[in-house]
Amino acid sequence: MKHLPSFLCIGVQKAGTSWLYDQIRRHPGIWLPPIKELHYFDHLYCPNNRVWTAWHIEQAVKNMLKNYLNHTHAVDFRYVRYLATMASKPLFTEEWYRQAFQRQAAQGKLLGDITPEYCAIGDEGIAYVKRFLGEVKIIWLIRDPVDRALSQLRMNAERRGCTGDEPEVVWLDWAKDPDIADRGNYADYIPRWEKQFGRERMLFLPFQHIAQQPLGLLQTIEQFLDVTPWGGYSTLHDKIHASPAYTVPEAVTAYFRWQLQPQYPFLHAYFNADFLQAI
């Protein structure tokens, strides 16, 4: 078994990828790096992301080291060295990416990488994924475009120090961040990935199944990845990184409905009615 991912979960942001990471990393036949979202491919092919990708890795390692050293008495210095290497320059090289999967615990297991930003890496980036990783399998979580945008907006507002009392004009200004619409651009991203990997190598999962039938969703993934079914999932209904419950002005929702309207014809042409009811 190769020491690089056999599957990627590439999207989309605010559609449950953190929940999925938390669940499938428990499967005894699957191994994921301790850092969710390695951002390797989007660092290379989404230049705007380079402003924060190194910070993301460094902060993740810092937090994991702090937590690990504060809660263990028998320090595994190989693990500490592994984490330190992940945060040591040069970052985002092929050697660095391979190193992320060089752990004894990963031996003999199916390897994966969950990074939603990979959906946006474009034709050149997708071609590189195929050259580097081969015929990997691709997992997508699909959420209603407007609901997804509102969730991202609330997350961004929290990061801006939102008090919940901001006027409508401020919310509208935040909503116009082009990154919000870009992260949910299914009509652009899905055909690009399908063109190079084929629909048969892509698994699409509707967001609402996380709450409605989480075990069934995970069993679908197990079948797609061809791993032994496992009955040990014990935190199926835990929420991971839930967005704050800010009340967003109706004008903002109306703005997203207008802005994201072109996504719906694509989704209706690509998925059946049962799937669309559950996104």
Could you state, in order of their start, the residue ranges of all structural domains in the chain?
7-33+101-277
Q: Residues near 82 by Cβ (< 8 Å), separated by ≥ 6?
A: 99, 102, 103
How high is the pLDDT of residue 276? 98
pLDDT of residue 164: 84
pLDDT of residue 24: 96
Burial of 131 (0-12, 13-18, 19+ CB in 10 A): exposed
What fold, for 7-33+101-277?
A: Rossmann fold (3.40.50)
pLDDT score of 1: 47
Torsion, Cα 201 207 211 216, to 10 degrees, reads -20
Neighbours of 237 (CB within 10 A): 8
Q: What is the pLDDT along the chain (279 residues), one digit of tens a residue?
A: 468 999 999 999 999 999 999 999 999 999 999 999 999 999 999 999 999 999 999 999 999 999 999 998 899 999 999 999 999 999 999 999 999 999 999 999 999 999 999 999 999 999 999 999 999 999 999 999 999 999 999 999 999 999 888 999 999 999 999 999 999 999 999 999 999 999 999 999 999 999 999 999 999 999 999 999 998 998 898 887 777 889 999 999 999 999 999 999 999 999 999 999 999
pTM passes above 0.85? yes
Could you give the dihedral angle defined by the CA atoms of residues 31, 34, 37 and 42, in that order, rounded to the nearest 10 degrees?
Answer: -80
Residue 140's H or E segment, with its range, is strand 137-142
